[in-house]
Structure 1
Amino acid sequence: MAIDPKDAFLHVIYDYRCLATAGYAWSVTGPAGAHIKEANLLLPEVGTMIQDSIHVHARSLIDFYTKQAPWPTDVVLSRFSSSISISAGRATYLESMKHPIEVHSLHLTEWRDVPYRTTNANTRDGATRGRPQWATENTVLVDQLIEALKEVSQQQSRWQKPFAELYSAVVARLTDGSYDWPTNLGEKRDVENYLVGLGL
C-alpha cells in the first residue's frame, strides 16, 4: 500500500534541503569558492564530500521528475498530480546527467577509466557515460533542479502552495547557508500539520 502523499512530500523536502545546503557549500568552498583554502584546512578535500552530496540528492530528484516507469514504491512527481510536469528541455538535461552521476559517483565501473571511455566513446553506452566538468556542471545541475521546482510551484494543483513554499526555502538556503529552514518544512509532525492545514 502506498504511503500518504503528505509522508512522501517529507522525503522530497529532505532531498531538496540537502541539495540546497550542498549547493551553497559548493558556491563558497568549491573550486571557484572564496573559502576553499580555509575549508580544506578544516576538512581536507571538502569539495569531494560536497560534490558527492550534490550528486546523491540530485540523482534522487532526477528520478522524481523524469522516471518513466517507476516502481510502486518510488516517490515521483505524478504521485502529487498528474497535471503538472517540467519542461521537455529541462527533463532532457536532467536525464542526461543520470549516467554520468551513476558512473562517476555512485558505481565503481570501468567507465571511470579514461582509456576505456575513450576507446568505447562511440558505443551506445559510451555516448551517455562521459565525465562532465564537475567544477562547473555541479552548479548547473543544482540550478536546473531548483528551476524544475520553480516550474512545478507555478502550476495549478492542490500541491502548488507546498511546492512554492519549498521553492522559496530552497532558494533562501542556496543564497545564505545560515538561513533558518522553515518549521513547517522540517520535522514530520510539523510538515503534516502544515499540509493538513492546507486541506491535503
Structure 2
Amino acid sequence: MNAISRLPASPLANAALAAARASESVAIANHSIRSFLFAELLAEHDGTTNDSDYDRELLFAACVMHDLGTGDKARGEQRFEVEGADLAAEILSAHGAAARDVDRVWEAIAFHSSPGIAERRGLLAYLTREGIGVDFGRRADIVMTHEHAIHLAFPRLEMARSLTDAIVQHAARSPAAAPRYSVPGELLRERSAEGITRMEIASSESVWGG
C-alpha cells in the first residue's frame, strides 16, 4: 500500500492539508492524515464507500483539519474543537463548497471528541471520529494489514504528548476554551494536577504505543 498515493489531490484537499501542516506540529499533522487513511479503511470494511452520504474529499477535509483548533491560527476564545471547525469552514467556503457540505464538515470536527453525539450526526461525523479513534488504538484490528505502510509514511512522533501539549496550551488561554468536563477542560485539569493526562496514558498503553 502506498499511503501517500491514497491522499486526495483536489484544490480543496491540498488547501486542507496545507492548512494543517502550516499551523500544527508534524506529529499532529501526521495524526490527522493517518486518521483519514484509517477512516477510509473503516469505510471499506463497513461497506459504506458506496453510500450516498460517503464523500471521500469531505472525509479528507474533516479528518485532516480536525485539529486546526490546536494550531497557531486558533485564538483560544472557544474550545479547540469549535475553533478548528470554524477555521475548516472558512477554507471550505473559500473553495466553493456547498453550504450543506460546509455544515457537515463543521459538525464532524466540532463533535469529533464527543462520543455518543458524533455517531448520531451522519456518516461523515461517524467516520471522522472513528478514524481518529483508530489512531488512538480503537478498532485497530481492522487496519492491521495497512498500518505499517501508513505509520512508515506518517510516523507517530509521540503524537499523544504533542497533541495534549497543544490542547492544554490552547485551553489555558481563556475559561471559554476549557469548560469544565469538556475534553480540553479535563486535559488542562489533569495536566495541572497530575502532570500527565489519561489520554496520554491510554495512548501509551494502546496497540500503537503512543
TM-score where L is the length of structure 2: 0.25
Compute the TM-score of the two structures, normalised by the length of structure 1. 0.26
Larger radius of gyration: 1
